[in-house]
Amino acid sequence: MPANTMNEDLKRERQRCSFDPKELTYLLDGGEEKTEERRQREKFFLDDPELSETAPSDYLSHKEKYEHAVKKACIVFKKVQQLQAQGKAGMQNFREVLGGQLGSAILRDGNPLGLHYVMFIPTIMGQGTIEQQAEWISKAWNLEIIGTYAQTELGHGTFIRGLETTATYDPATEEFVLNSPTLTSYKWWPGGLGHTANYAVVVAQLYSQGICHGIHPFIVQLRDEETHLPMPGFENVRIPWNYMLMKNGKVLKDGSYVKSPSSKLTYGTMIFVRVVIVQDAANYLRKAVTIATRYSAVRHQSHIKESAPEPQILDFVTQQHKLFPQLATYFALHYSGAWLWDMYNNVTSELESGELDRLPELHALACCLKAVSAADAAQGIETCRLACGGHGYMSCSSLPITYGLVTAMVTYEGENTVLLLQTARYLMKAWQNCLDGQPLTPSVQYLNSVRRSFGGVYHKSVPWIIASMQRIAAGKIETAHRHMNDKIKRGVNSEDAWNETSIELVAASEAHCKAFIVETYYNSVQQIVPSVSQQLGKALTELCELYAVNTLLKNIGDLLRYSNVTTGDLENLQRWLEELLAAIRPNAVGIVDGFDINDAIIASPLGAYDGNVYERLFAEVSKSPLNAKPVNESFHKYLKPLLKSKM
Ligand SMILES: CCCCCCC/C=C/C(=O)SCCNC(=O)CCNC(=O)[C@H](O)C(C)(C)COP(=O)(O)OP(=O)(O)OC[C@H]1O[C@@H](n2cnc3c(N)ncnc32)[C@H](O)[C@@H]1OP(=O)(O)O
Ligand SMILES: Cc1cc2nc3c(=O)[nH]c(=O)nc-3n(C[C@H](O)[C@H](O)[C@H](O)COP(=O)(O)OP(=O)(O)OC[C@H]3O[C@@H](n4cnc5c(N)ncnc54)[C@H](O)[C@@H]3O)c2cc1C
**Is residue 90 scored above 60 in pLDDT?**
no
Is 390 among the annotated ligand-binding positions? Answer: no
**Is residue 92 scored above 70 in pLDDT?**
no
In angstroms, what is the span from residue 411 Cα to ligand 2's centroid?
6
pLDDT the model gives residue 199 = 98
**Is residue 96 scored above 70 in pLDDT?**
no
∠ CA 470-499-165, rounded to 5°: 110
Inter-residue contact 402 to 105 (CB < 8 Å) = no
In angstroms, what is the span from residue 233 Cα to ligand 1's centroid?
30
- Nearest by Cα to 152 from 203, 213, 218: 203
**Is residue 85 scored above 70 in pLDDT?**
yes
* Pairing assessment for the beta strands 211-221 and 257-258 based on DSSP bridges: unpaired
pLDDT the model gives residue 304 = 92
pLDDT the model gives residue 62 = 93
Segment 568-577 mean pLDDT:
97
**Is residue 55 scored above 70 in pLDDT?**
no
Q: What percent of the chain has pLDDT over 70?
A: 96
- Which ligand 1 atom is nearest residue 152's CA? 13
Mark 570-586 as b/e (b = at least 16 C-beta within 10 Å). bebbeebbeebbebbbe
- Distance, in Å, from the CA atom of 117 to the CA atom of 328, rounded to the nearest integer, reads 31
Each residue's pLDDT tens digit, 463-474: 999 999 999 999
pLDDT the model gives residue 72 = 93
pLDDT the model gives residue 455 = 63
CA-CA-CA-CA torsion sign (202, 206, 212, 215)? negative
Contacts of 146 (CB under 8 A, 6+ apart): 113, 116, 192, 196, 197, 198, 199
DSSP annotation of 178: E
In angstroms, what is the span from residue 149 Cα to ligand 2's centroid?
14
Where along the chain do its domains lie?
A: 145-266
Each residue's pLDDT tens digit, 401-444: 999 999 999 999 999 999 999 999 999 999 999 999 999 999 99
- Which ligand 1 atom is nearest residue 418's CA? 26
- Which ligand 2 atom is nearest residue 187's CA? 11
* Closest C-alpha residue for ligand 2 atom 9: 190
Segment 159-166 mean pLDDT:
97
Inter-residue contact 362 to 354 (CB < 8 Å) = no
- Distance, in Å, from the CA atom of 408 to the CA atom of 412, rounded to the nearest integer, reads 6
Identify the three-state secondary structure at position 220.
strand
Inter-residue contact 222 to 187 (CB < 8 Å) = no
Residue 558 Rama label (left phi>0; alpha psi -120 to 50; beta): alpha
Inter-residue contact 249 to 128 (CB < 8 Å) = no
In angstroms, what is the span from residue 146 Cα to ligand 1's centroid?
25
* Closest C-alpha residue for ligand 1 atom 43: 264
What are the Cα distances from residue 99, in Å, to 102, 190, 200, 272, 537? Answer: 7, 19, 21, 14, 29
* Closest C-alpha residue for ligand 2 atom 52: 412
pLDDT the model gives residue 87 = 79
- Distance, in Å, from the CA atom of 31 to the CA atom of 29, rounded to the nearest integer, reads 6
Segment 352-375 mean pLDDT:
95
The ligand whose atoms approach the alpha carbon of 184 most closely is: 2
- Distance, in Å, from the CA atom of 434 to the CA atom of 445, rounded to the nearest integer, reads 9
- Nearest by Cα to 282 from 333, 323, 324, 325: 333
Is 5 among the annotated ligand-binding positions? Answer: no
The ligand whose atoms approach the alpha carbon of 103 most closely is: 1
What are the Cα distances from residue 411, in Å, to 9, 223, 287, 418? Answer: 40, 28, 21, 10
* Model confidence, pTM: 0.96
* Pairing assessment for the beta strands 175-179 and 166-170 based on DSSP bridges: antiparallel
Superfamily name with CATH number, domain 145-266: Butyryl-CoA Dehydrogenase, subunit A, domain 2 (2.40.110.10)
Q: Does the structure's ipTM exceed the value 0.95?
A: yes
- Which ligand 2 atom is nearest residue 416's CA? 47
In angstroms, what is the span from residue 414 Cα to ligand 1's centroid?
7
- Chain-centre distance of CA 497, in angstroms? 32
Segment 295-304 mean pLDDT:
96
Reported confidence tier of residue 91, pLDDT bands at 50, 70, 90: very low
pLDDT the model gives residue 263 = 80
Ligand 2 pocket (Cβ < 6 Å) reads: 115, 149-152, 156-158, 189-191, 408, 411-412, 414-415, 417-418, 421
In angstroms, what is the span from residue 205 Cα to ligand 1's centroid?
15
In angstroms, what is the span from residue 158 Cα to ligand 2's centroid?
5
Ligand 1 pocket (Cβ < 6 Å) reads: 118, 149, 151-152, 158-161, 191, 264, 267, 270-271, 273, 276-277, 280, 359-360, 363, 412-414, 418, 422, 425
**Choosing from 164, 413, 519, 545, which is the catalytic residue?**
413
Tally of helices (H runs) and strands (E runs) in the chain? 27, 8
CA-CA-CA-CA torsion sign (621, 625, 629, 635)? negative
**Is residue 57 scored above 80 in pLDDT?**
no
What are the Cα distances from residue 231, in Å, to 52, 226, 237, 239, 388? Answer: 36, 11, 9, 12, 50
pLDDT the model gives residue 395 = 94
Burial class (CB in 10 A: 0-12, 13-18, 19+), 54: exposed
pLDDT the model gives residue 354 = 86
The question of whether 413 is a catalytic residue gets the answer yes
- Nearest by Cα to 412 from 158, 109, 165, 110: 158
E-only strand ranges, 232-336: 237-240, 250-251, 257-258
CA-CA-CA-CA torsion sign (572, 575, 580, 583)? negative
The ligand whose atoms approach the alpha carbon of 502 most closely is: 2
- Distance, in Å, from the CA atom of 120 to the CA atom of 114, rounded to the nearest integer, reads 9
- Distance, in Å, from the CA atom of 312 to the CA atom of 301, rounded to the nearest integer, reads 7
- Which ligand 1 atom is nearest residue 412's CA? 11
Reported confidence tier of residue 120, pLDDT bands at 50, 70, 90: very high
Out of 93-102, 190-199, 335-344, 472-481, which region has the weakest mean confidence (pLDDT)? 93-102
- Nearest by Cα to 540 from 528, 550, 549, 548: 528
* Closest C-alpha residue for ligand 1 atom 28: 159
* Closest C-alpha residue for ligand 2 atom 28: 158
The ligand whose atoms approach the alpha carbon of 200 most closely is: 2
* Closest C-alpha residue for ligand 1 atom 21: 158
Inter-residue contact 542 to 328 (CB < 8 Å) = no
Burial class (CB in 10 A: 0-12, 13-18, 19+), 24: buried
Reported confidence tier of residue 261, pLDDT bands at 50, 70, 90: confident
Each residue's pLDDT tens digit, 583-626: 999 999 999 999 999 999 999 999 999 999 999 999 999 989 99
